[in-house]
Amino acid sequence: MSVGGMLVSADGKTLFVCNSDLGISTFKGASKPGLVAFDAKSGAFKARWEFPGGGLCNDLTMTPDGTILMTDSFIPRILVLKPGATELSEWVTDERFKGDGFNLNGITWSENGVYTVKYNSNELFRIVIKEDGSA
């Protein structure tokens, strides 16, 4: 329906995009929010993972091991797709991510942790990644 954040895999072969139906684009329908993968060269569809329980896929980042983290702007959480996983799961849920309207927005990974911003309050969060990959 519409594309939020997007990124290309480290090997350059896959384009990952956040897909959500905001009801404001030319394309309207019943598309559930999720992460979609396309072949970066041909544009061919590769895979789709739905956001469990709805929400809004806004932005995404990738860690060096290929783990993808996605912000949810409507539910106070960050979702994760680990390499080889067949579905998305919650990586971290925090009441501080909750608010009116659009909440979590941008996200990026660094050696110091994962950074995300809350759109409606201008708060910046740093989330430390433990050795096991958890928040």
pLDDT band, residue 30 (cuts 50/70/90): low
pLDDT band, residue 2 (cuts 50/70/90): confident
Q: What is the pLDDT of residues 57-99, one digit of tens each?
A: 999 999 999 999 999 999 999 999 999 999 999 999 999 999 9
> Which stretches does DSSP call E strand in the chain?
3-8, 14-19, 34-39, 45-50, 57-62, 68-72, 77-81, 89-93, 104-110, 113-118, 123-127
SS3 helix, strand, coil % of the chain, rounded to 5?
0, 45, 50
Residues whose CB falls within 8 Å of the CB of residue 3, separated by 6 or more in sequence, listed in order: 17, 18, 19
Q: Which amino acid is at 97?
A: F
Q: What is the pLDDT of residue 25?
A: 58
- Tokens, residue 49: 């993972």
pTM: 0.91
pLDDT band, residue 20 (cuts 50/70/90): confident
